[in-house]
Structure 1
């Protein structure tokens, strides 16, 4: 596992339409589908529902939750890339609740920010597949020990081995779908797509949200929500990707995405796209929500 602290988070599912929250069988372990109104969610094409059911029976995801408002975490919102320019977009999960009777369906309430336009969201995440990932090849970067840096061409500096017992012995991805809706007003829309949550099985038996490869699963993001934003008014769509570890994932989006070693910051070259102030600690989600004027 990566040194320097582990940023864990709960994963919630919320309905795009509150009336569309699914009823589920109150069995102890139930892996169910969900309805999102008129939205047809993509279905993950790999992994096993049975494997996920067995895992959740023994390891509820809430066991791995660390609050998003942890005082040592400088930027609590999940960071994202929007559109062909990969402009910055952010999402914060404020209330995450499992649907009664199901371990794989969660409801959420939160906020998004795009170009200073802050909008509330409600939605769901449905997790329905799990698969074991192939081991990291010797030629691939070791994401367990990375430190983001401009010191080499890859933007990574492998420097800190994981603490004893936290060495990765196997890695998995939990896959599913999500749908988050903004209020129905001019300029707003809904987001939907696929989610990948990477879990590393440690030598001590614990499971930690941790990417180990750039080529599979969350691809360095620990958790990745990838899909599209769709305008209510026009049907216009735009690609969006949110990740939990933007400093690492971003090195595969932009060249020299970060500068610095001990406390890396976004490269000022990308400030025009909103990428600045990672360590500012700005609590933008506490700001009043205004009428939407900025389209994604």
Structure 2
């Protein structure tokens, strides 16, 4: 099935349901009750009748996506921090999944812990990722650089036989995108909130049967240069004020930026942030401040 470009809508129009196959679809198990309070307030991100086919559920039983969601895999493309934009002023917003594990009974459900960072506030949270759709991914895409056995498009143009080998490798790699409903409940502090979002994760199967990230443009960005493997867009409800604000996050902030700021990325080859947005927290992309890490407990000196 050909997958259209993943459109980012700050208005969060409901996603289209996956087409049913001859298999009887199996409805995804609802998330735990403690993170469902947002449903009546925040915009829905999936249609109520979205389901997973038996084939999709079997794939989810076979492959555990915990490490991919968390960004805990090795390689230059992995990350534990997602960056993006929050609210009408599009201030810098960051989120990290510090723990992710698959539910023992439901392979489509993942339990998460983490922290989010906005201005000077760092808020811990718990929540769930419930996979609602699974789709095959069509090119363009880019496999992990460190994977020497991954399909290599540049090698495929050498001859017909090389092209055939490339196609066979792509078939075995089976590039996919899963789309999940993310529900987050922040720790009960002042101005704590709850979030409801759609999360799109792109991956492939390596030759050793492990999973790797697959980078692909989520929208009509500038080819693979602004590609990413994880995009989250949704809304946050402030429990105290009942105010709702929208946000977008990605492993590559430049994949999230085009629909927010057209001139966010500058430079002859890109990769540089426009200094005009420094007042919104975008002073430097790479920072050594591990804000998501728990502070070590003080040692007792006798």
| Normalised TM-score (structure 1) | 0.65
Q: In the alignment, what sits opposite 1:33?
A: 30
Structure 2's unaligned 5+ residue stretches are 1-25, 153-169, 221-225, 296-302
The equivalent position to 1:57 in structure 2, one of 55, 58, 61, is 61
Q: In the alignment, what sits opposite 1:153?
A: none
The equivalent position to 1:232 in structure 2, one of 236, 239, 243, is 239
The equivalent position to 1:115 in structure 2, one of 113, 119, 139, is 119
Alignment of 1:71-110 (within 5 A): 76-110=80-114
Q: In the alignment, what sits opposite 1:144?
A: 142
Offset of 1:123 from its aligned partner?
Answer: 1.1
Offset of 1:57 from its aligned partner?
Answer: 2.7
Cα–Cα, structure 1 residues 70 and 174, in superposed 2: closer, same or farther, change >3 Å? Answer: closer
Cα–Cα, structure 1 residues 270 and 203, in superposed 2: closer, same or farther, change >3 Å? Answer: farther
What secondary structure, in the 3-state scheme, does the structure 2 residue paired with 1:248 have? Answer: helix
Cα–Cα, structure 1 residues 198 and 69, in superposed 2: closer, same or farther, change >3 Å? Answer: closer
- Structure with the higher fraction of residues in helix conformation: 2
Q: In the alignment, what sits opposite 2:46?
A: 44
Looking at structure 1, the residues matched to 185 and 58 of structure 2 have their Cα atoms a distance apart, in angstroms, of: 31
- Residues 84-107 of structure 1: CA deviation (Å, up to 9, x unaligned): 232111111122222222222122
Offset of 1:239 from its aligned partner?
Answer: 0.4
Offset of 1:75 from its aligned partner?
Answer: 6.5
Alignment of 1:242-261 (within 5 A): 242-259=249-266
What secondary structure, in the 3-state scheme, does the structure 1 residue paired with 2:255 have? Answer: helix
What secondary structure, in the 3-state scheme, does the structure 1 residue paired with 2:292 have? Answer: helix
Q: In the alignment, what sits opposite 2:151?
A: 166
Cα–Cα, structure 1 residues 102 and 48, in superposed 2: closer, same or farther, change >3 Å? Answer: closer
Matched, 1:279 2:283: no
Offset of 1:187 from its aligned partner?
Answer: 1.9
What secondary structure, in the 3-state scheme, does the structure 2 residue paired with 1:192 have? Answer: strand
The equivalent position to 1:124 in structure 2, one of 124, 128, 133, is 128
What secondary structure, in the 3-state scheme, does the structure 2 residue paired with 1:284 have? Answer: coil
Structure exhibiting the larger radius of gyration computed from Cα positions: 2
Looking at structure 2, the residues matched to 47 and 67 of structure 1 have their Cα atoms a distance apart, in angstroms, of: 26
Looking at structure 1, the residues matched to 27 and 67 of structure 2 have their Cα atoms a distance apart, in angstroms, of: 18
- Residues 74-125 of structure 1: CA deviation (Å, up to 9, x unaligned): 9642112112232111111122222222222122221111011111111111
What secondary structure, in the 3-state scheme, does the structure 2 residue paired with 1:144 have? Answer: coil
Matched, 1:270 2:277: yes
Contact 2:66 2:110 (8 Å CA) reproduced: no
Size of the aligned set, in residue pairs, is 239
Contact 1:30 1:104 (8 Å CA) reproduced: no
Looking at structure 1, the residues matched to 259 and 253 of structure 2 have their Cα atoms a distance apart, in angstroms, of: 10
Contact 1:144 1:162 (8 Å CA) reproduced: no
Looking at structure 2, the residues matched to 81 and 179 of structure 1 have their Cα atoms a distance apart, in angstroms, of: 18
- Residues 231-268 of structure 1: CA deviation (Å, up to 9, x unaligned): 11221100011212223333453234334589944222
Cα–Cα, structure 1 residues 75 and 173, in superposed 2: closer, same or farther, change >3 Å? Answer: closer
